Structure 1
């Protein structure tokens, strides 16, 4: 069995990484076009850097929760039986990797990385980032930005995502709002391709009716329960 899992902010909420689109989220308190757009960065790079520096430092103190660990178990369980997990996340945190997932595709970039706007080199970055930094690769000054896909930019790895959907048997969306495109459209693409579809969320997403199976509850309990069920079925098949 090949399973495509898409994760969103809801899977990391119990690790202290707040969601952005709920009533208390960042976009209810801040203008996203000032903090998460190329235009906002050009207008006030110090403000944008400060926002992501604070988020990066918060991430460094966060820990994976049982939902992240369960998906790592699923990757191992599928691999042991000749299957495969394609884990695509909208999250810019690295909690999947720290929980043990080995193959994670970050379609919206990664908070613990920086990208040079001159040479396009992507590099690990855990310190604060500012416009006084020099690119370690090309030595350009003041050209580093967070390795984040901002509003108006094209998500990463879209060809890989399309190929993975075409090669999967089951599409599962975990902790997503169903409002951010193109990710919100993956379920319709999956249905067009004939995949089974499943949503696991704290509450129904905006596109919940598109899913055949739905499980609701905190990610730290709902995801491990679902993974246990999948592994049990695989074990029964031998």
Structure 2
């Protein structure tokens, strides 16, 4: 039984991740602004209402870890904020709003959990194909895609900084998955992969991928977008 933190668990891939890890017998700390009914009552899932855009809100996580868990075996940084807007209309405030969740939220939660991470712990950040240098880009996603590129570099740096402690950092850059967020970015597009199927892949990678990878970005995509 492992202790696993997952962000963005109110819907989509994050919700599926929490349920699938719990079904496998692992303990899950599910973090999202809104706590979904589907996670309540599961003995392996604890839920915290946290806004990752507000740094002080992460004190709830720090308090939970110090009082409940002695170690964190894995983190899945799944939460994401998306903005679809022409670049000319995208303000600094818009960029800051996206980066507070997609970049600063990843950095701050990792920092909070660091005292509980140990040799063998695996930190997985969910990025996007849009954040991969040289990949196909889509108009209107300047804030979102650039933030997803930022967390790729952050993870590569953390893998180097903490390699002596045996803490592993990897990134999964996802292509199209049929979620509410995809529908917001590409209305009417039907993705070839469901949230449940992608969650299964992420669960397996989180539990075993650190045996083979560290500081790596894996492109998990079968289509464009």
TM-score by length of 2: 0.44
Larger Rg: 1
Bigger fraction of residues in helix: 2
- Structure number with greater CO (CA < 8 Å, separation at least 6) is 1
Structure-1-length-normalised TM-score: 0.42
